Amino acid sequence: MTKREKLLLKASVAFALLFAIAPTVNAMHIMEGYLPAGYCVAWGVICLPFLIAGFISLKNKIKTNRRNLTLIAMSGAFIFVISSLKIPSVTGSCSHMTGTGLGAILFGPASVSVLGIIVLIFQAVLLAHGGLTTLGANTFSMAVAGPLVAFGIYKLCGKLNVNRRVSVFLAAFLGDIFTYCVTSVQLALAYPSEVGGTAASAVKFLGVFAPTQMPLAVIEGILTVVIVIGLETYAVPELRNIGFLKGKEAE
Amino acid sequence: MIVIDKLCYQSKLRYVNASEKFVYAVLTLAMCVASRSALTAAVVFFVNVYLTVAKGGIPFARYGKLLLIPAAFLLVSTTALVVNLSRVPLDAFAFPMGGWYLTGSTSSVLEALRLCYKALAAVTCLYFLSLTTVMTDILGVLRKLHIPGLVIELMMLIYRFIFLLMETASAITTSQNSRLANRDYRTKLRSFGGMGSALLVRSIKRSGALYDAMEARCYDGELKVLPEERPAKKREILFIAGYETVLLGMAVWSWVR
């Protein structure tokens, strides 16, 4: 073998190993202990206003109708269960949805911020996805940034009269992509590259996670559309209950 | 249904005072993340494995498998940390690729290694908590920390609903499988979506029924549970205090050195 062939072989082995060892593809939770202490606190503080806003909105919802308490709790459990189930994936590795895009479309971004942090705590403690020190960073990317973008795009598409299925797909897909970008930037800020600084580091993180995250985002988009179609067919009164369909649209 | 939850209920440390375990896990985690030395990480790692496996009676094979859960993330992101694409080769390794080099410096490799064992040690802290303290006990501790009642109540309900919904989901999936709903990729996607929407409809119905049941039992805005008090032993508190002081010393030493 020439030197170049050897190198190619090595590179391909490394690449294959990377995919062989990565059997579970989660939405990108930053693992426990992976961020320096300062960043853990900072991301937590950044999340605070969103959490407080979410808390107040939940409180008002419950005040207007007490029955909403169990409904909100059920939606939280729904997000957790949807994100813990294996979804069909192309590569055969087992992957999971984030479910927050769907949550944001159905329940609004304010409730998803509080439900999101609760779900993330449960995911850390019960499933070992994510962690307690990285809770702030993960909350920001998955329970604040992603749902906000998903909800914004969904509303924007509604204003522009885009087909509802297309807009649901776009919302879930782009929400997922945005979550993945935010997580990469969070990692890059904590660990800037020696060559090229934070920007180069962000590109590297985006690059290594792209092979798992891009297909996942597409699948998440498709599944969200299928779920919403199912709901529109069978659950109009329930959807009206949670405020997803307003009176006119439901007919 | 959830492996960690099931193991946790079997742990021999389950009936130790919950606040004590919580404080131990959180303090150790903080020390571990704040410290820069490999020694701290090693001490934390082995003490936690000893406590969870030997004292708690969690099967070692199970524990090892759980430790592999974050391995994928660790591997992928550490690769991103170490490997650079640059025109000048750095000192640790360099593979030429055309006019560029896939390269990394010794200091970054060392830094990445340090990060790896720090993160693994932190994961054992999390596992200590989740494999010895059941969720309802953790909620009790959070209540003592004055987390708003609404959040605790939501967490309690969500924790309960998770198992209801998982059971429903697995029943739906079983019945779908028995009707050949997973024969190719298209049907797989469609049946997953169908399951998701059926799950949401059922859960909304269930939540209504649950509220009726709660109201029939005089629910008036507050869920009251009777916590069981298991006082912490003095010896254990002293041990934890001593251990954390040692860790703090090591963390401080790793910074001033």
User: What residues have CB less than 8 Å from B78, skipping those under 6 apart?
Assistant: B112, B115, B116
Distance between start and end Cα atoms, chain A: 70
Residues of A in contact with B211 (CB under 8 A): 66-67, 69-71
Q: Out of A18, A115, A126, whose CB is closest to B5?
A: A126
At A78-137, the pLDDT tens digits run 889 888 887 776 655 667 788 888 888 888 888 899 999 999 999 999 988 888 999 999
Q: Which residues of A touch B148 (CB under 8 A)?
A: 55
User: Looking at chain A, which residue has its C-alpha nearest residue B8?
Assistant: A126
pLDDT in tens, B145-203: 999 888 998 999 999 899 989 999 999 999 998 998 888 888 888 888 888 888 888 88
Interface list for A 137-176 with B (CB within 8 A): none
Interface predicted TM-score of the whole assembly (ipTM), two decimals: 0.90
Closest CA to A44 of A112, A107, A101, A121: A121
d(CA B14, CA B24): 14
pLDDT confidence of residue A21: 46
Retrieve residue A46's tokens.
């950044």
Inspect the interface and report whether the beta carbons of B33 and A231 lie closer than 8 Å: no
Q: pLDDT value at position B21?
A: 93
Gyration radius (Cα) of chain B, Å: 24
B64-88 pLDDT tens trace:
988 888 887 888 888 888 887 777 7
Q: Is the pLDDT of residue A15 over 80?
A: no
Which pLDDT value is given to residue B1? 73
Q: How confident is the model at residue A1 (pLDDT cuts 50, 70, 90)?
A: low
Instruction: Output the average pLDDT for chain B.
Output: 87
Q: B9, B28, B77: best mutation site toward chain A, by most A Cβ within 10 Å?
A: B77
Distance CA B42, CA B242 (A): 17
Is there a contact between B200 and A207 if contact means CB atoms under 8 Å apart? no
State the pTM of this model: 0.88
Find the mean pLDDT for residues B120-129: 93
Q: What is the DSSP letter of A191?
A: S
| Residue A100 near chain B (CB below 8 Å) | no
Question: What is each CA distance from A242 to A107, A108, A134, in whole angstroms?
Answer: 7, 10, 31
pLDDT at A199: 86
Residue the block writes with tokens 């959040």: B151
- β partners of residue A197: A193
- Is a pLDDT exceeding 70 seen at residue A19? no
Closest Cα in chain B, distance from residue A71 (Å): 5
CA of B242 vs chain A CAs: smallest distance (Å) = 23
User: What's the pLDDT score for residue A22?
Assistant: 47
pLDDT tens-place string over residues B84-106: 777 777 777 777 777 777 777 88
pLDDT digits (tens, 9 = 90+) for B216-242: 988 877 777 787 778 888 999 999 999
Q: What angle do CA B32, B35, B39 make, to 5 degrees?
A: 80
Q: Do B75 and A22 touch (CB under 8 A)?
A: yes
Residue A152: predicted pLDDT: 93
Q: Is the pLDDT of residue A250 over 50?
A: no
More confident residue, A109 or A4: A109
Strand partners, B103: B84, B94
Residues above pLDDT 70, as percent of chain A: 84
**Are residues A230 and B197, on separate chains, in Cβ contact within 8 Å?**
yes
What would the mean pLDDT of A26-46 be, rounded to a whole number? 87
Partner-chain contact B196 A223, CB within 8 Å: yes
The reported pLDDT for the residue numbered A251 is 41
Tokens read off for A197:
């600084």
Q: Any bridge partners for residue A95, and if so which?
A: A25, A87
Q: Are A122 and B159 in contact (CB under 8 A)?
A: yes
Rg (alpha carbons) of chain A, rounded to whole number = 20
* Residues in chain A within 8 Å Cβ distance of B166: 81, 84
Q: Is A207 on the interface with B (CB under 8 A)?
A: yes
pLDDT confidence band for A207 (50 / 70 / 90): confident
Q: Average pLDDT of A48-52?
A: 93
Is A244 within 8 Å of chain B by CB? Answer: no
The yes-or-no verdict on residue A230 having pLDDT over 90 is no
Give the per-residue pLDDT at A248: 45
Predicted local distance difference test score (pLDDT) of residue B70: 84
Helices (H), chain A: 3-21, 37-64, 68-84, 100-107, 109-122, 135-138, 146-159, 164-190, 197-234, 236-241
